[in-house]
Amino acid sequence: MPKMKTKSGAKKRFRLTASGKVKAGQAGKRHGMIKRTNKQIRNQRGAATLADQDAKIVKQFLPYA
């Protein structure tokens, strides 16, 4: 059987942790910062782990991760 290909969009957006959870960048930080509160901007720094339902879908696109 040939190797499965990783979705190139998924490999740019998601990383797997050592325990198998999926890390992704925070949503809502591309534009419109003037409308957001300072608390919201602070809390959206770094990366977030996806919920189990979302992680299950993402893992289909990363077969060897």
**pLDDT of res. 2:** 94
User: In the chain, what are the domain boundaries?
Assistant: 8-61
Q: What is the pLDDT of residue 1?
A: 87
The more confident residue out of 1 and 47 is: 47
Q: Which CATH topology does 8-61 take?
A: Factor Xa Inhibitor (4.10.410)
Helix (H), strand (E), coil (C) string for the chain: CCCCCCCHHHHHHEEECCCCCEEEECCCCCCCCCCCCHHHHHHCCCEEECCHHHHHHHHHHCCCC
What confidence score (pLDDT) does residue 61 get?
Answer: 96
- Locate 65 and state its tokens: 């991760």
Among residues 47, 12, 16, 14, the alpha carbon closest in space to that of 29 is found at: 47
Tell me the residue type at 5: K
pLDDT confidence band for 65 (50 / 70 / 90): confident
What tens digit of pLDDT does each residue of 3-51 get? 999 999 999 999 999 999 999 999 999 999 999 999 999 999 999 999 9
